[in-house]
Amino acid sequence: MTSRKVFVMLGLVFLLVCSMASVSLAADICIVIDGKQVATDVAPVLEDNRTLVPVRVIAEGFGARVGWDGAKQEVKIKTAANDIVLTIGSKNVTVNGVRKTLEVPAKIIGGRTMIPLRFVSDNLGAEINYDSSSRTVNVKYFSNMAGTLKIGGSTTVQPISEKIALELMKMNKGLSITTAGTGSGDGIKGAGEGRYHIGNSSRAIKEAEIKEYGLVEHQVGSDGIAVIVHPSNTVSGLTRQQVFDIYTGKIRNWKEVGGKNAPIFVQTREEGAGTLGAFVELAIQAIDKNAKITPTAAPHGSNGLVKQAVARGENNIGFISFGYIDSSVKALKIDGVEATAENALAGKFAYVRPLVVVTKGAPTPLAAKFIDYHTSPQGFKILEEENYLPMK
């Protein structure tokens, strides 16, 4: 008797497990963007024979910024090329100011906005396949690119561009991207003259430049500028005013800022460097519009050379991009705030500048995707690896 009961019980348990397995299988439609499975808390659903997908996770995978306006019940999606506004419960949607209609209204499931998959493919330039046998939504955004892109400009942004170009070219056979580190000035000018599809700049673009060339700027990240000294220097922090006074030549001795009696040798960058432009704007002109760096400052050709000069000269002071800080130099606290990425992201550190790319007019679809990559999860990883601050 007991053995029979056990068998029946076992059989029932088995059935239960099976049904549970099949139920969970039925619920799991997974999303794969550019070959990588994306984790979603709300899975895509089928409704009226249409697949509804959570818009945020997909859009963010494309590097879009997604905003939510609770009062208007609006979802805003912004990529380099597209500006989309969805309204919950409505079929109406605006794409770059043009009104369009969804097949089914956007709706909220489990706190997530769901929209028809077709809309994503039709309006964001993604290629979408639904494989019903494996219940997978295959989204290609960065892996359906083809053509040529020329990119040039800031040496600060150059390493990021180069890594992104490599990643994209690995994913796309028909894509060729060239990148050049020629300085922010040239990046802006080159984009305006049509020499580059995308110009890189590590300083904000001047109003005059935007007007002159009809440029559109896209911020792709930020970067902090650290003030560095020799590791043996006893000074560990300066105020913004002290940095200003040192760089404009008012303070010339380390003892005036709490160090030993020794001259302060100011190291700077050659004219045209984005880091110099940003530093002058943030550290000098923010305090006095007409002030300029002391003429005795020794100019250097790159971030690396400034670091080397400071590492070798115990009385030197210089400024470099966060990406270049290492143990050979000491980064000073500014107004008591440590020069770290966290402080820069939190807005506490004084010298943070935008990393900007520019295009002449609206970017081409290909250029737009390249720009979007900077703000995609993979792009964040690249920026973090290179010690820049992603746009999270």
DSSP secondary structure string for all residues of 250-285: S--BGGGGTS-S-B-EEEEE-TT-HHHHHHIIIIIT
Q: Find the shortest distance in angstroms from Cβ 368 to other proteins.
A: 25
Other beta carbons within 10 Å of 101 = 10
Structure tokens at 89: 């419960």
Q: Are strands 316-321 and 215-229 parallel, antiparallel or unpaired?
A: antiparallel
Nearer to other proteins, 300 or 369 (CB): 300
Q: Which of 389, 328, 334, 365 is nearest to 147 (CA)?
A: 365
Q: How far is the C-alpha of 320 from the C-alpha of 31, rounded, in Å?
A: 41
DSSP secondary structure string for all residues of 124-143: H--EEEEETTTTEEEEESTT
Query: Are 120 and 38 in contact, with CB atoms under 8 Å apart?
Result: no
Nearer to other proteins, 265 or 370 (CB): 265
CA atoms within 13 A on the CB side of 238: 30
Other beta carbons within 10 Å of 24 = 9
Q: Find the shortest distance in angstroms from Cβ 283 to other proteins.
A: 16
Nearer to other proteins, 90 or 253 (CB): 253
Nearer to other proteins, 152 or 390 (CB): 152
**Edge-to-edge order in the sheet of strand 92-95:** 65-69, 74-78, 83-87, 92-95, 98-101
Query: Are 203 and 274 in contact, with CB atoms under 8 Å apart?
Result: yes
Query: Are 86 and 75 in contact, with CB atoms under 8 Å apart?
Result: yes
Q: How far is the C-alpha of 229 from the C-alpha of 156, rounded, in Å?
A: 21
Q: Find the shortest distance in angstroms from Cβ 187 to other proteins.
A: 9
Nearer to other proteins, 200 or 316 (CB): 316
Nearer to other proteins, 125 or 152 (CB): 152
Q: Find the shortest distance in angstroms from Cβ 334 to other proteins.
A: 23
By CB under 8 A, name the binding residues for other proteins. Answer: 182-183, 185-186, 189-190, 208, 212, 252-253, 261-266, 270-273, 292, 295-301, 313, 315-316
Phi and psi for 4 in degrees, rounded to 5?
-60, -50
Nearer to other proteins, 112 or 252 (CB): 252
Nearer to other proteins, 312 or 392 (CB): 312
Q: Find the shortest distance in angstroms from Cβ 347 to other proteins.
A: 28
Q: Find the shortest distance in angstroms from Cβ 124 to other proteins.
A: 35
Q: Find the shortest distance in angstroms from Cβ 299 to other proteins.
A: 6
Q: Find the shortest distance in angstroms from Cβ 201 to other proteins.
A: 12
- Residue 227: which region, alpha, beta or left (left: phi > 0; alpha: psi -120 to 50)? beta
Query: Are 159 and 325 in contact, with CB atoms under 8 Å apart?
Result: no
Q: Find the shortest distance in angstroms from Cβ 369 to other proteins.
A: 27
Which residues, at least 6 apart from 370, have a Cβ–Cβ distance to it below 8 Å? 149, 151, 164, 165, 168, 177, 198
Nearer to other proteins, 4 or 211 (CB): 211
Amino acid residing at 371: I
Q: Find the shortest distance in angstroms from Cβ 310 to other proteins.
A: 12
Nearer to other proteins, 162 or 186 (CB): 186
Phi and psi for 138 in degrees, rounded to 5?
-100, 110
